[in-house]
A and B are shown apart, each in its own frame.
Chain A
Amino acid sequence: MHLGDLISAYLDSQVDASERTLVEAHLAGCEECRSELAAATVGRKRVRELPLLEPPPGALRPPADVVPLRSARRRSLVAAAAMATLVVGVGFSVSAERAVPLRLDAVVDQHVARASVDPGLNVLQVQAVVNR
Chain B
Amino acid sequence: MASNEAVPTWEQVANDYGRTIYNFAYRLTGNRDDASDLSQEVLLRVRRGLANYQPGSFEGWLWRITRNAFLDEVRKKKRRPTAELPDEDRSLIATTPTPEDVLSQTRLSSDVQEALLALPYEFREAVVMCDVVGLSYQEIAEAVEVPVGTVRSRIHRGRLLLREALEVRP
Q: Roughly how many angstroms separate A6 CA and B10 CA in the complex, as a whole number? A: 38
**Residues of B with C-beta under 8 A to A66:** 40, 43-44
Structural contact, A59 and B159, CB atoms closer than 8 A:
no
> Interface of B with A (CB < 8 Å)?
10-11, 14, 18-19, 21-23, 26-27, 32, 35-36, 39-40, 43-44, 47, 88, 91-94, 105, 109, 112-113, 115-116, 127-128, 130-132, 136-137, 152-153, 155-164, 166
Beyond A46-B162, A55-B39, A59-B39, 13 additional contacts (C-beta under 8 Å) are A8-B155, A12-B137, A40-B159, A43-B158, A44-B131, A46-B115, A47-B128, A49-B109, A50-B112, A55-B19, A55-B22, A60-B14, A62-B14
Q: Does A4 contact B (CB under 8 A)?
A: yes
Structural contact, A43 and B88, CB atoms closer than 8 A:
no
> Interface of A with B (CB < 8 Å)?
4-9, 12, 14, 36, 39-40, 42-44, 46-56, 58-63, 66
Structural contact, A53 and B92, CB atoms closer than 8 A:
yes
Structural contact, B159 and A44, CB atoms closer than 8 A:
yes
**Residues of B with C-beta under 8 A to A42:** 163, 166
- CB-contact partner of B88 in A48, A51, A62, under 8 A: A51
Structural contact, A39 and B159, CB atoms closer than 8 A:
yes
Structural contact, B36 and A58, CB atoms closer than 8 A:
yes
Chain B interface main SS type: helix
Q: Roughly how many angstroms separate A121 CA and B113 CA in the complex, as a whole number? A: 47
**Residues of B with C-beta under 8 A to A61:** 40
Q: Roughly how many angstroms separate A51 CA and B40 CA in the complex, as a whole number? A: 21
Q: How far is the CB of A95 from chain B (nearest CB, A)?
A: 46
Q: How far is the CB of A120 from chain B (nearest CB, A)?
A: 28
Q: How far is the CB of B155 from chain A (nearest CB, A)?
A: 5
Q: Roughly how many angstroms separate A62 CA and B12 CA in the complex, as a whole number? A: 11
Which residue of B is nearest A40, CB measured? B159
Q: How far is the CB of B86 from chain A (nearest CB, A)?
A: 10
Q: How far is the CB of A83 from chain B (nearest CB, A)?
A: 28
Given A8-B152, A48-B131: A54 touches B162 (CB 8 Å cut-off):
no
**Residues of B with C-beta under 8 A to A46:** 112, 115, 162-163, 166
Among A4, A8, A12, max chain B CB count under 10 A is at A8
Structural contact, B40 and A59, CB atoms closer than 8 A:
yes
**Residues of A with C-beta under 8 A to B153:** 4-5
Which residue of A is nearest B112, CB measured? A46
**Residues of A with C-beta under 8 A to B164:** 39
Among A50, A53, A54, max chain B CB count under 10 A is at A53
